[in-house]
Amino acid sequence: MTSPRRRPLLASALVLAVAAAAGCGDLAARRGGVTASVDSMGLALHSPVTEHELRAHPESMLLYPGSRLARPIGADEHSQPGGEEPDPAYAGVIATAPATVTALLAWYEQALRARGYLRATYYRPANQVNGAAWTVPNSREQIQVGIFAPTSDITGSTPPGQLTYQEVLVSYRVTGPPPP
Residue 74 domain-assigned? yes
Reply yes or no on whether the pLDDT at 1 is more than 80. no
Task: Give the span between the Cα atoms of 33 and 43, in whole angstroms.
Answer: 16
Q: What is the CATH number of the domain that holds 152?
A: 3.30.310
CA distances from 65 to 1, 61, 114, 145, 150 (A): 71, 12, 16, 14, 20
Residue 84 domain-assigned? yes
Query: How many domains, the chain?
Result: 1
**What's the pLDDT tens digit per position in 120-179?**
999 998 889 999 999 977 778 899 999 998 767 676 677 778 899 999 999 886 544 445
Residue 2 domain-assigned? no
Task: Give the span between the Cα atoms of 93 and 71, in whole angstroms.
Answer: 6
> Residue 123 sits in which domain range?
51-171
Looking at residue 3, its pLDDT comes to 54
Looking at residue 71, its pLDDT comes to 93
Whether the model pTM is above 0.85: no
Confidence of residue 106 (pLDDT cuts 50, 70, 90): very high
